[in-house]
Amino acid sequence: MAKVASHGAFQGESPLDYALPLIILQICLVVVVTRSLAYLLRPLRQPRVIAEIIGGILLGPSALGRSTKFLHTVFPPESMTVLDTLANIGLLFFLFLVGLELDLSAIRRTGRKALAISLSGIALPFALGIGTSFAFRATIVKDAPHAPFLVFMGVALSITAFPVLARILTELKLLTTDLGRMALSAAAVDDVMAWILLALAIALSGSASPIISLWVLLTAAGFVIGAFVLLKPVLAWMAHRCREGEPIKELYVCATLAIVLAGGFLTDVIGIHALFGGFVVGVVIPKEGPFAGMLIEKVEDLVSGLFLPLYFVSSGLKTNVATIRGAKSWGLLVLVIANACIGKIGGAVATSLLVKIPVREAVTLGFLMNTKGLVELVVLNIGRDRKVLNDEAFAIMVLMALFTTFITTPIVMAVYKPARPSVPYKRRTVECAPGDADGELRVLACFHSSRNIPTLLNLVEASRGTGHRRLVMYAMHLVELSERSSSITMVQRARRNGVPFFNSADREGQLVVAFEAFQQLSSVRVRAMTAISDLETIHRDVIDSAAGKRAAIVVMPYHKALQQDGSFQSLGSAYHAVNKRVLREAPCSVAILVDRGLGGPAQVSAQNVSFSVAMLFFGGPDDREALAYATRMAEHPGVAVTLARCRPNRPHSDEESADDEAAIEAFKSKVGAVKDGSVHFEEREACAKEVVLETIHSLTKFNVFVVGRMPPTEPLVERPDELGPVGSYLVSPEFRTSASVLVIKRYDPATNPKSKRFDPKARPPAATEEDVLDEAEMGRSAVVPVPWSPVSDCAGHGVR
């Protein structure tokens, strides 16, 4: 391919005979195939690397490439230089991102247990890899250089893929459990050790002379030292000049990327592959401040989305499963898979048992540590390029990496049964039994962005009740987990708990600061949390957290955001689906908060709270729950509550009517004793739709509307959404107001069977050290991890 671009098909030229149109076709084909496979494997909860490896193999000589016409048309031999060059440039920058996400300070703080598990998970498989290499040399790799082949086989079996493991742990909701933290810590140590061993293998494979290999290693060590001594201060200077909330200067991005390329060039000159240069530059960049995050945001989408899949197809084009033929070759495949599993799983399990980790958790940890991924392919490709591995050995090792990673998720799901707190989960509603009226109210309040925080805090402050009726707020930031590596960075910053917490060291974050300031100025206890999951499964984080924290009510944000003109714009059907799933499966009452800026753009201090609340009561369990919430708000000295009761036209059972009357009388007696003129009560008989609309329009000057989700009245709009017949009207264009809306659904196990905890196949949240701290700090008995069993689902009782 002497030319880059063709003159076009109309000139009688085939575009596929030229480099540029051919590489464009190759990139598009690779992206379509790998993304399609990732979609198909999604129900199996497999990481995307599995789809990319399989996609590469399918496009190679093992499947589609068996057609000579396809292979010579789409991936002709003369195009491989361009394809491999682009793939390695993408890999260079991807490993720069991997280094950027690797925090050496966190590795230095690795506990003794994780360190022991990591070292045993390297030593035993490395030894078995060396043993396996003798079987390979005696059969299919007879002419391979001796010492490099031993080291390459040892490294290939001892690697744990840190990014892939983080993805699997996140998918399984295990990332910030004690088990997940230990697995990640051990895998991080493994990652560093793998790079050191790989550098050794490359140095040994470069020359037959041990003196030259020694010079390569010493020069590589000098490069690493020079990067920390000379380069790190320069990068720290650039990082220091980047301010939070300000765009990063284009000069700094350009300079950093140029440094990555220069580092790759130097390590290639040294003889240990250009990838090491990019990785080391990423490691030395300071992780404090916004600089590292901004670099990831600038680089990762192009690299991970377009260039990195080329590396997998480049590997797939070199993988020919057809070379594995005969009993001897298939026997070697079984041998290498068995040794990889025995080494990694056996080493991790044995050490885990020695450090007093329970058997089930130890086995789970062993399978997690057996995860392979991109670094495995890097090792195998370098070994093949350096003539250490032939085509047959390369194909066997690629299938081993694919198999060991593929089995991780299903086996962990089958083996790991986490414990859950043994504390009874009794209070699942705001309304409680008369004897438990002074009990603690636990609220799990969720939000999507920081602009929802002031309204959320003002609502909680107005709902805190009197001093002896304490309120505990768990504020959960709902973050979508994408395939971007920066999502894994957010996850790695997570602190201990059943779901990730904000990084305790990141005290400058506006979210953490807002909650800390609120806790100091209010009598409400606040715990800031983050749930990072795919939107299809993030409702499980909410539900599991509600059960783990024994929340009485979950507050979810409305799936539409307020615009400048007062209208609402949907955030997407996925956010709407999250709310519907939580409403359907939550183990407690659920409220949907429509944010119209309660209290303005900032949190209002406790002594300055002055809100007016309108409660619309029609009857039924949802309205009684909403009334219980409004009753709590009425106890605040700065909150005025107006209760507007509309008796429905629909027939009402005697039992329901009696419950409604009792709730109204309880409201009158309870707030009448503590309030002086700030509570108003209005009642209208047999309210038709027109009367209801008139009543609502007379209340437009209030700050908050509190309504039940499914009152016994006809819909006020044609197609109500999750807010119900009345709540949907309060956010419709026909009703103009600046009032926020709180729509409440009462927990009822009879109509909400999934909430009984919840699906028998679903795993409950694991009890963690954070739960123990929560209980101790809140004056409760300690949480004891015990095997899970269904708990009582009775609602309307006080917390123990």
CA 789, CA 464: separation in Å to the nearest integer? 33
Q: Which of 365, 395, 414 is the last residue of a domain?
A: 414
In a domain, 512, yes or no: yes
116 and 155 both lie in a single domain: yes
In a domain, 421, yes or no: no
pLDDT, position 498: 33
Residue 423 located in a structural domain: no
Question: Which residue shows structure tokens 């929560």?
Answer: 774
Provide the CATH number for the domain around residue 668.
3.40.50.12370
CATH number of the domain where residue 267 is located: 1.20.1530.20
CA proximity to 61, closest of 314, 379, 365, 333: 314
The contacts of residue 341 (CB under 8 Å, 6+ apart) are 370, 404
CB atoms within 10 A of CB 654: 7
SS3 content of the chain, % helix, strand, coil (to 5): 55, 10, 30
Closest by CA to 425, choosing from 90, 136, 788, is 788
The reply to whether 61 falls in a domain is: no
Cβ proximity of 658 and 619 under 8 Å: no
Residue-level pLDDT at 134: 92
Beta bridge partners of 708: 744
* Number of other CB atoms surrounding residue 510 within 10 Å: 11
Residues 382 and 465 in one domain: no
State how beta strands 420-421 and 785-786 pair: antiparallel
Alpha-carbon gap, residue 171 to 173, rounded angstroms: 6
Copy the structure tokens of residue 341. Answer: 């599993």
Specify if 453 maps to a domain: yes
Specify whether 592 is located in the same domain as 697.
Answer: yes
Question: Of 379, 414, 449, which residue constitutes the final position of a domain?
Answer: 414
Element (H, E) at 158: helix 146-158
**What whole-number distance in Å separates Cα of residue 795 and Cα of residue 720?**
27
- Same-domain pairing of 695 and 622: yes
Answer yes or no: do 604 and 698 share one domain: yes
Please tell me whether residues 523 and 385 are part of one structural domain.
Answer: no
Please provide residue 448's backbone torsions phi and psi, each rounded to the nearest 5 degrees: -100, -35
Number of domains the chain contains: 2
Based on the domain organization, do 664 and 736 belong to the same domain? yes
Assess if residue 294 is contained within a domain. yes
C-alpha 718/C-alpha 402 separation (Å) is 53
Instruction: Quickly list H helices, 207-325.
Output: 210-226, 232-240, 250-270, 274-284, 291-302, 308-318
Please tell me whether residues 172 and 260 are part of one structural domain: yes
Q: Is residue 568 part of a domain?
A: yes
Are 483 and 600 within one domain?
A: yes
Q: What is the spatial distance between Cα 556 and Cα 658, in angstroms, rounded to a whole number?
A: 30
- Short-list 581, 583, 637, 573, CA closest to 608: 637
Query: Please, what are the averages of pLDDT over each run of 10 residues along the chain (800 residues)?
Result: 79 87 93 92 86 91 90 91 92 89 74 87 92 91 84 89 81 78 84 82 75 88 94 92 81 94 95 90 87 85 87 89 90 94 93 91 92 86 89 93 92 78 74 64 88 83 72 86 58 42 39 66 77 85 88 93 83 91 92 83 63 89 92 84 80 78 82 63 75 85 90 85 89 86 89 52 41 44 32 31
Is the same domain home to 536 and 397?
A: no
Do 34 and 4 form a contact (C-beta atoms < 8 A)?
no
Which pLDDT belongs to residue 757?
47
Q: List b or e across 136-168, with b for residues whose CB sees 16 or more CB atoms inside 10 angstroms.
A: bbeebbeebbeebbbbbbbbbbbbbbbbbbbbb
Could you tell me if 459 and 356 lie in one domain? no
Assigned domain for 617 exists? yes
Residue 501: DSSP 8-state: B
Q: Please tell me whether residues 397 and 518 are part of one structural domain.
A: no
Which has the closest alpha carbon to 602: 486, 518, 525?
A: 518
Please give the residue range of the domain that contains residue 371: 94-302+326-414
